[in-house]
Each structure stands twice: as structure tokens, then as C-alpha cells.
Amino acid sequence: MDIEKEIEEVITSYPRLNYFPDKKMLIGEIEISEGDVYNIRVDISPYPVYFPVVYEIDDRIPKKLDRHIYTGSGDCCLTTTAKAQILLKTKVKSLKIFFDEVLVKYLENNSYYEIHSRYFDEEYLHGPQGIVDAYKDILGIQDMRQIVILMINRVEGRKLRLKDACYCGSGLTLKKCNNGKHSRMYKDFRAIDKGVLINDLTHFENLVTKN
């Protein structure tokens, strides 16, 4: 599907949005539930290589890191770079899917926070700890040392085969471990660009140094 058709698909689903082709931006309102409306600006120029850049333009969401808004640029922190890359290469195959599965869920989570002072879906902390926690979720293990080994091996071009021992230390092959769940997680992990892995390794180092 070409980008113009993707934009039409988004506007059909979210009719309060308008597209400004000269700016490559979708601007307007999204109603995530009856009476719950967000006024947003979405820069789609980075897509499909990266997530679109989203701004909530009524200052409903405080510009604070713990509310998942970057304080300098003011755009929404939707997830970690590594998880965004995995989503773009697996589930997010169109702009509409990005809106449905990423942006709307982000806004729904904020609305939940406004009522309950906590997020319904747990959000990652900003800084090294959040980066590390994301990799723990991506790979389904808690061992930071093993995660670092996997990251370094990936950067250096080494990869696990299905018949190799699973990275979790169970003694089972990657193919059979956890009913194949770890092999699927490892496949997602391999979708992360080497440049992102190299950058994220510094966050592991910072966390270890801090502790």
C-alpha cells in the first residue's frame, strides 16, 4: 500500500484529522472514547523507517519525562527505540495500525493515568533502567549479563541457530525452549538494527556503573 492510500485509511478511521502534504503532517483530533478527545500533530516524514513523531498540542499531557513526553522537543515517548523497530518489522505494517495499536493505546494509557494516577499498561522508565527493562521483556529473561552477550554477538554478526542451546540457560534447544516462545523472542530481537544495539549497550554500562 502506498503512503497516500495509508493516509486515506487513517483519515477514514479518524475523520477529525486533516492531512497537510506540504508539511507531511496529520493534524486534528482523535476521540479515543466518547468525550475523550486528544488534539494531536503527527509528523509522518520518518515513517516507515521510524515511527511517526507525535505531539499532543493542547498540553493536556504535562511535558515531563515521567508522563512520557520529551521535555526538550515536546513529542510523545511511545516506546523504546528497540521495541519500535521490532514493531515496525513485525506488527506495524501500515499507518493505520500505528494509530490503532501504538498511538491510541498510548493515549488510552494517559487517560487511565489521569483518573488513577498510575498507568494501566506499565511504562518503561526513562534513562538506562527503561532501556534495560525493555530488553528483558524482548528476550524474556532477567539476566543482564546474558542480554549483553546476546547484544554483542548480534553486533559482531553471530547468531543462535534453532538447534543451539537456548540463551535462557534451560539446557533445551532454542527451538524447543518454552514451547518455542524464546525462539520467537530471539527472532524479534534480531530485528533491532546494530546501531541501536551499540547505542543501547552504553545504557547497560551506565546502569552497571551507577549500581
The answer on 97 and 11 residing in a single domain is yes
Other residues' Cβ atoms within 10 Å of the Cβ of residue 162: 13
Integer Rg of the chain from CA: 19
User: 199: domain range?
Assistant: 128-210
Model pTM score: 0.91
Domain's final residue, options 71, 86, 116: 116
The answer on 20 and 108 residing in a single domain is yes
The answer on 112 and 13 residing in a single domain is yes
CA dihedral 48, 152, 158, 139 (to 10 degrees): -60
- Report how far residue 53's alpha carbon sits from residue 102's, in angstroms, rounded to the nearest whole number: 12
**pLDDT at 168 (0 to 100):** 96
Is 121 within the bounds of a domain? no
The answer on 93 and 22 residing in a single domain is yes
Is 64 within the bounds of a domain? yes
Domain's final residue, options 77, 94, 116: 116
Other residues' Cβ atoms within 10 Å of the Cβ of residue 4: 10
Angle at 122 between CA 6 and CA 134, to 5 degrees: 75
Give me the average pLDDT of each 10-residue run along the chain (211 residues): 94 98 98 96 97 97 94 95 97 97 97 94 83 96 96 97 96 95 98 97 80 58
Is 123 within the bounds of a domain? no
Other residues' Cβ atoms within 10 Å of the Cβ of residue 179: 8
- Report how far residue 152's alpha carbon sits from residue 195's, in angstroms, rounded to the nearest whole number: 11
Domain's final residue, options 86, 116, 146: 116
The answer on 94 and 8 residing in a single domain is yes
Number of compact structural domains in the chain: 2
Burial class (CB in 10 A: 0-12, 13-18, 19+), 71: exposed
**pLDDT at 97 (0 to 100):** 98
What is the CATH number for 9?
3.10.110
The helix/strand/coil state of 82 is helix
The answer on 193 and 137 residing in a single domain is yes
The answer on 41 and 14 residing in a single domain is yes
CB under 8 Å to 197, separation ≥6 — which residues? 82, 151, 154, 155
